[in-house]
Amino acid sequence: MKLADLRDLMRRRRADYGLGLSFDDFRVDPMVASLRWPADVVEQFLYDHGDHGPFQRDYRNVDLTSIVWTLETVTAAELSTMPTGPSEAGCIEQFALHPGHYISVRSSGIHVGVPEKWRDHGTWKRPPLLLDRRLLDPSTSGLHVLEGRTRVGILRGRLRENDFVAATHEVWVGRPARSR
């Protein structure tokens, strides 16, 4: 299954007049449910961004059924150089230029607690999504920022400004099912 296979579901999710699919309805759709991904991953990757143009370009060839997601810990040093998709190359660095701004605008709704999490724990409130690069090109290795570019940008900016950043951070990592 590829992102393009979810096109009709994405269209229904974004239906006009607020009648689109709720996240709960989206994640129990048989195609999405068949992936057996954690709800947080489904929401961040497919529900929030699955029809986003850069995602469509960068991840259109990834077989979604071949990804196994696990909650892991990675170091700030690893995240400080990790790339993202070519369609949004440079965006992490743009977020890193003004980490305080991007923290301050995340203080209401689902973002309540983000500033305090950075201040008190030096990390994000919600784990971002990283992808094993072998899913994009079997001849490569390492991890790639799939979703959470703002969060990773904030981390990089805080490191540059010598603000408090935890040594390790919780992330969702998608790896090829066959490598497990």
The pLDDT of residue 16 is: 59
The pLDDT of residue 18 is: 63
Q: pTM score, two decimals?
A: 0.93
The residue with tokens 């059924």 is 65
pLDDT at position 4 over 90: yes
Tell me the percentage of the chain whose pLDDT exceeds 90: 80
Over the stretch 119-172, which tens digit does the pLDDT of each residue have?
A: 999 999 999 999 999 999 999 999 999 999 999 999 999 999 999 999 999 999
pLDDT at position 60 over 50: yes
154 contacts 95 by C-beta, under 8 angstroms: yes
Structure tokens that stand for 6 in this block: 């979810």
Over the stretch 72-87, which tens digit does the pLDDT of each residue have?
A: 999 999 999 999 999 9
The pLDDT of residue 92 is: 97
Of 129, 128, 105, 107, nearest in space to 116 by CA: 107
Give how far Cα 1 sits from Cα of 34, 59, 171, Å: 10, 12, 24
The pLDDT of residue 20 is: 78
The pLDDT of residue 180 is: 44
Residue 109 confidence class, pLDDT cut points 50, 70, 90: confident
Residue 17 confidence class, pLDDT cut points 50, 70, 90: low
The pLDDT of residue 134 is: 96
How far is Cα 14 from Cα 5, in angstroms, rounded to an integer?
Answer: 16
